[in-house]
Amino acid sequence: MSTELGRVRGYGSAHEGVHHWWHQKLTAGTNLLLMVWLLASLAMLPAYDFATVRLWLGSAWAAIPMLLLVVSVVYHFRLGLQVAIEDYARMQSRFVAIVLLNVYAAAIAGVAIFSILKIAFGAAQ
């Protein structure tokens, strides 16, 4: 037998602790900071036409934070939907739903990262 405090310290019902919760909070914080950076950076652009934004995103000072923003937002999105699936999906469909969620999140991140890198490395239109 263990004490009540020993049984509940850092463990949820799955005995995984606060790992998932902590990742959600960290990604929420990085999303906030990076979105503030994005809005401020876009506000300082002289124009909002395609050429200006493409030139801005071609800079490493813009491309790297944009890559970090994409990774953080997609990971946060995946964590949040995983919780919803685990809470509300039936056991039979839970595994399939989480696999589909992971494939969808990887596809979204892959397309966004590819697009940013294509612009950053100056690929032809």
- How far apart are alpha carbons 100 and 120 in whole angstroms? 30
Contact 51, 119 (CB under 8 A): no
Whether 2 is in a domain gets the answer no
33 domain-assigned: yes
Q: Is residue 72 part of a domain?
A: yes
Q: What pLDDT digit, counting tens, does each position of 7-49 carry?
A: 556 555 555 558 888 999 999 999 999 999 999 999 999 999 9
Q: Which two tokens stand for residue 121?
A: 């490395």
Residue 31 inside a domain? The answer is yes
pLDDT in tens, 64-83: 999 999 999 999 999 999 99
Quote the CA–CA distance of 107 and 78 in Å, as a whole number. 12
The predicted model gives 96-115 an average pLDDT of 97
Rounded Cα gap, residues 83 and 64, in angstroms: 29
Average pLDDT over residues 71-98: 93
Which of 34-38, 70-74, 94-98, 121-125 has the lowest average pLDDT? Answer: 121-125
Q: Is 115 domain-assigned? A: yes
Q: Total domain count for the chain?
A: 1
Residue 65's pLDDT is 98
Instruction: List CB contacts of 30: < 8 A, sequence separation 6 or more.
Output: 68, 72
Q: Is residue 58 part of a domain?
A: yes
* Domain that residue 111 falls in: 10-121
Residue with tokens 């397309």: 111
Q: What is the CATH number of the domain that holds 72?
A: 1.20.1300.10
End-to-end, the C-alpha distance of the chain in Å comes to 67
In the chain, the amino acid numbered 125 is Q
